[in-house]
Structure 1
Amino acid sequence: MKERDSYRERVGEHRIPRGIVAEATARTMFTLTRHPPAPELAEFVDYHWVLRWDLRGRPAHEQRVLPNLAVHVTFFPGASGVYGPARDVFSHRLEGRVQGLGVRFRPGCFRAFLGAPVSDIAGRAVPLTAVFGPAATAAAESVRTAAVDAQMVGAIDNLLIAKQAELTPAARQAAEAVESIARDPGITRVAQLCADTGLTTRSVQRLFAEHVGCPPKWAIRIYRLNDAAQRIAAEADPDYAGLAVRLGYSDQSHFIRDFRAVTGQSPAEYARSARAHTERVPDNDRT
């Protein structure tokens, strides 16, 4: 129980970019439930996420998710794999009736499972069996046929535990560096992260390439711009100049360039898209 409490405290104390685009519409298309991992995996895994949708007799839905730093291991028909830290907006077509599970690993904590620098899989996916062997096929089938969430979570916990991964001191250092960014929105420069961690710029860069899978500058940008996207989607009349200042940008044009690089849209385009989706959702579905 202590380990589960630790999980809740850790997940609750810092920002975790989730980046579901047009959340109001998304809530009418699928259900998403998050579950803590087994105690043996608490150092490695932020949470399991279980997704279900039933769009039989309805149009297919294209769901977009903003990039984040986590490695996700997914078990879905047609979309199973080990997905490295994303560099672009991820889009997936939802149709028919499907259930599946994904594992969100703590940034910095997947190298022990991969056996190689996480930068090797950045921006791409590799087959489950390439990392977890033939047992991954049976685990995916268990997820597909599970009657309840606990059966899915148990099957995947067992698959991960069987790897007997160990978190190295360097991996812990990488995870702590990312959590420094997550805890403190005031970290907007790599130099500030170096001061917080006590590491040189070159050491931080090597650590992130090996264990996180992206440069530290990109990691900081992901957190800042996920924050921006949430605020833009939630506000009726976003103040882009004020938002740029709050996020530590020296000028609005720099903020707009970075926002477009992460989301594929300008802040104004993103706001219009979010409003358009919200206006199409019935009032009783807005929760």
Structure 2
Amino acid sequence: MSGHRIPAGIVNARQAKFSLVRHPPAPSLRPFVDHHWVLRWDLSGRPPHEQVVLPNLAVNVTFFRHAEGVFGPGKRPFRHTVADTGHGIGVRFRPGAFRAFLTGPVTMISGGSVPLTDLFPGAGPVTESVRNATNDFEMVRRCEELLLAKDPVLTAAARSAIEAVETIAADPAVTRVGELSSRTGLSQRSLQRLFAEHVGATPKWAIQVYRLNEAAARIAAEDRPDYAELAFTLGYSDQAHFIRDFRSVTGWAPTEYARLNRVQEQESRREQFPGGL
């Protein structure tokens, strides 16, 4: 997985109101899981904070008060509000790997979520343990016990789906489904079926998600983004096409996204230094 792009998509991550720590999965879960992620926050005496996360292809299983469930591959930015003091854990699955935990195609949860207990009947005690946990290790252990109880098996088709997504993640030059077909040796029709069953998105959408998450990261990191140059770097023939695709994935035009990050950063600075810098 080294060198592969993994869309984090945390909007204005520099001003997040929580701490984020990632933990690797146990060896038996590595074929299925990218990592566990633990959030902790303390907003005592401060206003709630709404965090926005851009769409990605991962299925996430989460154990948070008011945000507990199985969340499918995103179609729109995900918004979650944190308040008071709390913590929780999420499990981020490798795109293409969650089919082993479902009774049907991953498209059945795309763009939405289902209660934890619908897929993991024993989730209730685990959720309670997570809420009472005093350390990350305890949360990770209980989550992994719940997942391994399903005795998941990674099929040959799932491996093909994972490899196809990793081909996109590893090479920014893959900008068309035809290119992905050439790289994988699968017909475009076969890719469509494979992605519907195991990824929960079309190959075209998967390519867009990686390209536009990369664009969002660059826009957020640069003071004066050159949108024409960025469009060219990402393989777009014209800036208008890039802008249209960026809006379809993130919900904002590139200039709006840049302004959003700048405004939030300025507001955060005012909170920290109300009298000015």
Alignment TM-score, normalising by the size of structure 2: 0.96
Q: Deviations over 1:130-180 (max 9, x none)?
A: 1111x1111111111100000000000110111100000000000000000
Who is 1:22 aligned against? 12
Select which of 160, 178, 197 maps to 2:165.
Answer: 178
Question: Corresponding residue for 1:191?
Answer: 178
The answer to whether the 8 Å contact 1:107/1:178 transfers is yes
**1:138 matches 2:125:** yes
User: For 1:197 and 1:168, how far apart are their aligned partners in 2?
Assistant: 17
2: distance between equivalents of 1:143 and 1:216? Answer: 35
Alpha-carbon separation, structure 2, partners of 1:243 and 1:37: 35
Pick aligned residue for 1:92 from 77, 80, 94: 80
The answer to whether the 8 A contact 1:232-1:271 is kept is yes
Alpha-carbon distance in structure 1 between the residues aligned to 2:99 and 2:251:
29
Whole-Å separation in 2 of the counterparts to 1:199 and 1:115: 25
Question: What whole-Å deviation, never above 9, does each CA across 1:183-227 have from its counterpart, x for those lacking one?
Answer: 000000000000000000000000000000000000000000000
CA distance in 1, matches of 2:138, 2:99: 26
Secondary structure of the residue that 2:96 maps to in structure 1? coil
Answer yes or no: is 1:264 the counterpart of 2:251: yes
For 1:253, the equivalent position in structure 2 comes to: 240
* Cα contact 1:13–1:183 (8 A) shared by 2: yes
Find the counterpart in structure 2 of residue 53 from structure 1. 41
Q: Which runs of 5+ in 2 are unaligned?
A: 273-277
Any conservation in 2 of the 1:24–1:277 contact (CA below 8 Å)? Answer: no
User: What corresponds to 2:106 in structure 1?
Assistant: 118
Aligned to 1:231: 218
* Structure 1 residue 115 displacement after superposition: 2.0
| Equivalent pair of 1:117/1:210 in contact (CA under 8 Å) | yes
Give yes or no for contact 1:24–1:281 (8 Å, CA) kept in 2.
Answer: no
Query: Deviations along 1:226-271, whole A, 9 cap, x unmatched?
Result: 0000000111111001100100111101100111111111100100
Q: Is the aligned partner of 1:103 residue 2:91?
A: yes
SS at match of 1:13: coil
Distance in 2 (alpha carbons) for counterparts of 1:282 and 1:151: 36
Deviation at 1:278, TM superposition (A): 2.1
In 1, Cα distance between equivalents of 2:14 and 2:23 = 22
- Residue identity matched to 1:18: A
Q: Residue 25 of structure 1: CA displacement?
A: 1.1
| 1:4 paired residue number | none
**2:204 maps to amino acid:** K
1:155 aligns with 2:142: yes
Q: In structure 1, how many angstroms separate the alpha carbons of the residues matched to 2:120 and 2:80?
A: 24
Alignment gaps of 5+ in structure 1 = 1-9
The whole-number CA distance in structure 1 between the counterparts of 2:190 and 2:251 is 31
1:207 maps to which of 191, 194, 203 = 194
Distance in 2, Cα, partners of 1:215 & 1:138: 36
Alpha-carbon separation, structure 2, partners of 1:57 and 1:226 = 34
> AA paired with 1:207?
L
Equivalent of residue 34 in structure 1, options 8, 22, 47 = 22
Deviation at 1:282, TM superposition (A): 4.3
